[in-house]
Amino acid sequence: MLARRKLSVTELSERVGITMANISVLKNGKAKAIRFSTLEAICRELDCQPGDILEYQPEHIETVNLQ
């Protein structure tokens, strides 16, 4: 969506009011959570819906082998 809107991470972070590091975490899919207010601000600036920028990925359950 950033590319479609011709916005940089820096510009989006300034418009939304969060750090470039946090935008990068979100952009790279490393975030564990997002505040609704942040999601709302990002969607407002990118003129999109949450489903346009979020994707559900179930967590992988790791097992420990105790042999």
C-alpha to C-alpha distances, 35 to 18, 48, 61, nearest whole angstrom: 11, 17, 25
Inside any domain, residue 67: no
Domain residue limits at 14: 9-53
Q: What is the pLDDT of residue 28?
A: 87
Q: Which pTM does this prediction carry?
A: 0.79
Q: Is residue 35 one of the residues assigned to a domain?
A: yes
Is 1 a member of any domain?
A: no
- Total domains in the fold of the chain: 1
Q: List pLDDT tens digits, range 40-64.
A: 999 999 999 999 988 877 776 665 5
pLDDT tens readout for residues 2-36: 889 999 999 999 999 999 999 989 988 888 889 99
Cα distance between residue 22 and residue 5, in whole Å: 19
